[in-house]
Amino acid sequence: MGKRKLVVEDLYALQSVTNPVLSPCGGEVVFVRTHIDEDQNDYVSNLFHVDVLSNEVTQWTFGKGRVSSPQWSADGTKIAFLSNRDEKNQVYVLSTKGGEARALTSFEKGVSSYLWSPCGKKVWVNGSVKEGKAFTDKEEKDEKKFAVPYRVTKMKYQMDAVGLLPQDIFKQIGVVDIETGEVTQFTEGNHQYTLQAVSHDGTKIIMSVNKSENQDYEFGQPMVIVDVETKEETVLVDEEGNFGGATFSKDDRYIAYVGANRTFQNTTHTDVVVYDTTDGTRMNLTESIDAPVGDYAIADLQQGVSAPAVVWTKDNHLYFQLSTMGDVRLYFATLDGAVYPASPENEHIYGYDISIDGTFAIVAVSNAISPGELFKLEITTGERSAITSFNQTYVEEVELIEPEAIVFQGAKEWDVHGWLIKPAGYVAGEKYPLVLNIHGGPAMMYGNSFVHEMQLLAAEGYGVLYINPRGSHGYSQQFVDAVRGDYGGADYEDIMASIDFVTSENEWIDTDRLGVTGGSYGGFMTNWIVGHTNRFKAAVTQRSISNWISFFGVSDIGYFFNDWQHGANMTDVDALWAISPLKYAENIETPLLILHGEKDFRCPIEQAEQLYITLRSMGKETEFVRFPGADHNLSREGAPNLRIARLDEITGWFKKYL
């Protein structure tokens, strides 16, 4: 019996396996498995345990909410994790011998992150506190719940997936006693503190805080090392840029962290830097690698992924993720400058942990036809053995199409990489429509990872083309920076060159039935494309940008993003209008479906409204679908029923016009 074709409802069948964490002795692993509960229309995640030797997998929690951030105590007798089973995220502690997990915190506004104290008797917590209040204070409830005005005095007053930011709430750091539950607040003042690390001897913590009075143009937080007893601070890093992920070496001598300065604004490559506490020197371990540290791959399955920035072994070796050529690989580094890959090509390592002796890793791995599982990777030999098999039956029963990697010449004769998927049931000699799918960012990348949306389009009978045009991460600093100041220029040329290349190389592509879609930057580019060519017979634009002038004032990032990416602001509206797709609306003849979330603060829905009304007023073929309550992450983390509806809209539009 042949395999069945993938369907949109398969989102409910797929399971996300993430966040593996090794026990101190290295013999056990805990991880998080997430699935969609169709009845409650929500994501449910629970904690699982596996014995490394026997591969016996056991479910440890059974709640209907979400769990995240599992951590072992230093002696391996307890597990802590965050859970929203009581609405707000709180810290829970579970004995490894069994029994029920108990809530350690019950903070009014929950806990954003936490870290074990090495003694195992305390937990450091990071959470929001109202000005003048403590973690444990309860707010007085307004039973009438009347709406009140919201006064805006800052430019940073809203955020996608959050909404309006409370003006009198500040993130503080505290310590909770495991036995008594007593909470001691460690930081104070009207500042936003972020807990980064705790030293192995328990005498120091690392935290981030920016105490500048005006935060509107502050885009990073200096990191400081703090003596727990005296609260004396030593600056770890204080320069313009984004730095974090700090962690102490096993002997506490070194501190590794990741970050990027502002040389190329938000397209600057992230590096791994090591600070020596004995003499204050620092080493950039990845300076010679022309690719960014971290995971920049776009996927739509893995939920709640939180991989460590850097992991130390006892020999002061380091491991980290690197996004390169469409892969996210595990890399190894030594303090004397040796850096090399520790995992194969053609896959996406989206989670990992390393044994303390550095002999093996536990890795969460996906590729184009594998949704993702946990594996044990022997570092020295490269041998790999499967630990989980949650998606095995699905992969065995469903036809998943292996993409073909392509390389072609884009603008300025630069090489551009991408992938082409043939339609399910492909028969040589037949003609098929093709859909071009453009990623967002633009400083992200498509990669060798499972994307349900791509496989769905193939299952619906379309060829699928997805590429990494200039502006994408994973190639070089020059490549990712090349889009700045040139939106709709060479990036557009790259994308159109991809169509030229695949249609010349693949006779099965029906050049009269080409479709295009994309979200965020990909939505901008979809709008731009249909305003500049009639080559495509149908288009779907998602969470898009149509007008950079209004974007400046309505997006949560608009006032600085325009400066960073276009070198223009409201003193030069002509420059912003010249690269706004709305300017070219009169040229659009391609039937255009507009999809947008109503709670999108990144690319607010007014961008879609302007485009739709303009096109309709001109008598163009267009429709507009609004998704209530959905933010910018609808396609990846939105309400499951809305994700299904979105995919139905996309496939329905292409079915109608292609």
In the chain, DSSP finds a helix count (H) and a strand count (E) of 11, 40
Average pLDDT of the residues in 303-311: 94
Please tell me whether residues 383 and 409 are part of one structural domain: no
Q: Is the link from the previous residue into 442 a cis peptide, with omega within 30 of 0?
A: yes
> What is residue 98's predicted lDDT score, i.e. its pLDDT?
84
Predicted confidence at residue 1, as pLDDT, reads 64
Q: How far, in Å, CA of 191 to CA of 152, rounded?
A: 18
Instruction: Mention every residue, 6+ apart, whose C-beta is less than 8 A from residue 152.
Output: none
Q: Please say if the pLDDT value at position 340 is more than 90.
A: yes
Helix 640-657 to helix 452-459 angle (10° resolution) is 40
Let me know the angle formed at the C-alpha of 375 by 372 and 381, rounded to the nearest 5 degrees.
135
Indicate whether 141 pLDDT > 80.
no
Of the pLDDT bands very low, low, confident and very high (cuts 50, 70, 90), residue 132 is confident
Give catalytic status of residue 69 as yes or no: no
- Token digits of residue 162: 């959050």
Q: Residue 267 domain-assigned?
A: yes
350 shares a domain with 462: no
| Residue 348 and residue 416 share a domain | no
148 domain residue, yes or no? no
> How is 621-640 classified by DSSP, letter by letter?
-EEEEEETT--TTHHHHS-H
Residue 185 sits in the same domain as residue 264? yes
pLDDT band at 142 (very low <50, low <70, confident <90, very high): low
Q: What is the mean pLDDT of residues 527-548?
A: 98
Q: Does 147 map to a domain?
A: no
Mean pLDDT of 495-512: 98
Mean pLDDT computed over 70-84: 97
Residue 651 structural domain:
401-657
For every residue of 219-248, which 3-state class applies, written as one string? CCCCEEEEECCCCCEEEEECCCEEEEEEEE
Per the domain annotation, does 154 fall within a domain? no
Number of domains in the chain: 2
With vertex at residue 215, the alpha carbon angle to CA 213 and CA 218, rounded to the nearest 5 degrees, is 120
Residues 472 and 333 in one domain: no
Query: Using the 8-state DSSP alphabet, how is residue 613 labeled?
Result: H
Residues 241 and 200 in one domain: yes
Report if residue 160 sits inside a domain.
no
Do 300 and 429 have their domain in common? Answer: no
CATH number for 90: 2.120.10.30
Label residue 177 exposed, middle or buried (CB < 10 Å: 0-12, 13-18, 19+).
middle
Q: How many angstroms separate the CA atoms of 496 and 277, rounded?
A: 51
Distance, in Å, from the CA atom of 492 to the CA atom of 489, rounded to the nearest integer, reads 5
Q: Is residue 360 part of a domain?
A: yes
Catalytic residue among 45, 68, 323, 520: 520
Asked if pLDDT for residue 139 goes beyond 80, the answer is no
pLDDT exceeds cutoff 80 at 634: yes
Query: What are the pLDDT digits (tens) for 169-222?
Result: 999 999 999 999 999 999 999 999 999 999 999 999 999 999 998 999 999 899
Q: What pLDDT, in 10s, does the model give residues 20-76? A: 999 999 999 999 999 999 999 999 999 999 999 999 999 999 988 999 999 999 999
> Does 449 qualify as catalytic in the annotation?
no
Confidence of residue 492 (pLDDT cuts 50, 70, 90): very high
**pLDDT mean over 609-613:** 98
Rounded to an integer, the average pLDDT of 356-374 is: 97
- What is the pLDDT at residue 147? 87
Is 476 found in the same domain as 340? no
Helix (H) or strand (E) holding 527: helix 521-530
Q: What is the pLDDT of residues 550-591, one digit of tens each?
A: 999 999 999 999 999 999 999 999 999 999 999 999 999 999
pLDDT band, very low/low/confident/very high, at 167 (cuts 50, 70, 90):
confident
Task: Give me the catalytic one of 49, 348, 596, 632.
Answer: 632
Q: Which of 366, 394, 422 is the last residue of a domain?
A: 394
User: Residue 484: which CATH number?
Assistant: 3.40.50.1820
DSSP H or E segment with residue 455:
helix 452-459
Q: Which of 394, 411, 427 is the last residue of a domain?
A: 394
Q: What pLDDT is attached to residue 408?
A: 98
Of 361, 394, 427, which closes a domain?
A: 394
Across 317-327, average pLDDT: 98
Q: Are residues 211 and 230 in the same domain?
A: yes
Q: What is the mean pLDDT of the chain?
A: 96
Q: Are residues 331 and 368 in the same domain?
A: yes
pLDDT value at position 506?
98
Q: Is residue 440 located within the same domain as residue 569?
A: yes
430-482 pLDDT tens trace = 999 999 999 999 999 999 999 999 999 999 999 999 999 999 999 999 999 99
- Residue 627 within a domain: yes
DSSP state of 6: P
Tell me, yes or no, whether 312 and 257 share the same domain: yes
Token couple for 348: 């996406």
Kindly state whether residue 41 falls inside one of the protein's structural domains: yes
How many percent of the chain have pLDDT more than 90? 93
